[in-house]
Structure 1
């Protein structure tokens, strides 16, 4: 399977001076054509920042974001906003808050028509049938086109957000925690919708989430972030069966256990996430790692192979 996107040495720092906030620091991974890649980690790990970098809602500080499509390779990090504009129809985003991302003064047909008009799609008499088609594609009815955002439930509004992303026929979608604002009873419906659309339309997804159960269900591979760095990359089944990095183990151990009588065999994370403006030396996870030794403070940790298709950023091989 070929890569659609390759991220190499990506960095995003906020602020200036000797201690900028290092939201993303030397991140490298690939996203393959047609796969759903999960991006997980605690709040403040840099997940959403990476999504916004890929969609150029914010500009990178350094690094490459190579986009392979239509027989060409383009570095999204080097494109000006005007150069990137033609690619916005290829690369779309579904936001976390479906209500805040919709204009409350616009009817849904206007919201979707705006996306179509911006990219010169479905003009004139073609526009309304295309809007109705998009609504039906995400499980809504054509008559919903005449309503305003406040007339919908949270789950319906997120479906509208998905329809808006689909309107321009993208190749790649960043789903930035699209379930976190929804009731649990609605989340499964939206997850299944995303999975169905991916198969029907041949989409490639970057699924950003803190819900490890959903990631296990939906994603083909997983990238684990901590303090803006990659801790582990692995196929989903392998990662959940035998996590290689201590941070991944702690994340999985923190997930709710259905049986209250079952005991945890892995200690939960202790302490708070360090400041990204002043990260620990060496391995950034060492201040919370139960296996840390003195050498962890000085070793420059790099991703190393940890099995077929797997990478981990822990230098110790005895864990």
Structure 2
């Protein structure tokens, strides 16, 4: 304890009680405390000892060597184009020969779904039901195309903004899991007119009927529209995420080249498309001739 503070304490106690000798009492108590500390092993004041301990714990060992971790330098590929060099025209022919051999003689590998060969991915060797890997849509029925002589045959063709130009088959059935449940997608024909697309919730027993080859008709739970996207838009608006939008041709499976090949392989598929292309080319030629004749009349 500081001596000045002890003196102040003694003077204050003397003013309060002049008859008592506080100076001797305080000094005796200080001596008793110091003897107690010495008996406990503290030869110096405890504050000094704590300061020494703190100082020893923070002394830096200058002689100790620090282990430096060096990262392995990865060689960087130098760009010939940035360096201004012309690309080499030498091509490793062995790589092309190996690729050609693999395409001509594919190796058969055993898998749970049978041997995986080039012929197994041929659309002619794939039968319904099959699942499209691109969108996880399972196609159960491909349906049938309308006749070529049908006056509304061109109404069944996909829109020009779609990825592929193809006719929509009547009786098409596919399933897709979305919004936590399974949906049945189908195409039907409205009263002697164009196609109508619908989606409706599918129960488990109905899916078993589809797998057995039975056709499930459209009922009152269905969302309908004149394009593949319309029913899916209605389903999005009624769902928990009304701001979401879904591509109808993608979910129906008409953006997958394998499924489009299967649809076109149906009877009358190529004929309808070729007839449409011929008519379109004739109409475009007539339009060009009409424009040329009108321009000549304007010049005269």
What range describes the TM-score normalised by the shorter chain of this pair?
A: under 0.3
TM-score after normalising by structure 1: 0.20
Structure number with greater CO (CA < 8 Å, separation at least 6) is 1
The structure richer in helix per residue is: 2
TM-score by length of 2: 0.20
Higher share of residues assigned strand: 1
